[in-house]
Amino acid sequence: MEHVVWHESLVNMADRHRANKHRSGVIWFTGLSASGKSTIGHHLEKELFDRRIRSYVLDGDNIRHGINSNLDFSREGRRENLRRIAEVSKLFVDSGIVVLAAFISPYREDRAFVKEIVGTEHFFEVFVKCDLDVCEKRDPKGLYKKARAGIIKNYTGIDSPYEEPENPDIVIETDTVSYTHL
């Protein structure tokens, strides 16, 4: 990378914050599949949009259709998935946008890595907490059923771990509260 040079913009983050009349950052939703991360993210995006706050949802499934379509769900694949998302999120933050990132991101170490890339001052972790049995009952994509049948391997919560955040900025318990009550 010695021949690659970063080009500084003539417009900085503070300029964008003034123009947008709001600060940028990353709200990182983590939790099991079907816990409600994307649902909350999309409803929050609409609320922010209505308040003229520039925001964008980065969703785990959508990202894997494009920029991360070549990655698997191995430990290494998951880490690279999050590294790329963190780098994209960092660019969005610099551009003045509030990023609503909805990713299972099952490992504490990887979430800490994302926070380091994005910058601690721009990172807000939200643990979307929901019991596994409730997530399995919801199972909108039928993935838990396939994981239990052995059709899908390395499925978080079934045969791959999910490490709950130790000190998230906020916890939303979606097995007891719906997004309409947030």
Which active-site residues does the annotation give? 105
C-alpha dist (Å) from residue 65 to 60, 77, 84, 178: 9, 14, 14, 28
What burial class does residue 83 get, using C-beta atoms within 10 Å of its C-beta: 0-12 exposed, 13-18 middle, 19+ buried?
middle
Instruction: State the SS3 of 3-31.
Output: CCCCCCCCCCHHHHHHHHCCCCEEEEEEC
Q: Which helix (H) or strand (E) holds 70?
A: none
H/E element holding 57? strand 55-59
Nearest to 98 by CA among 71, 113, 118: 118
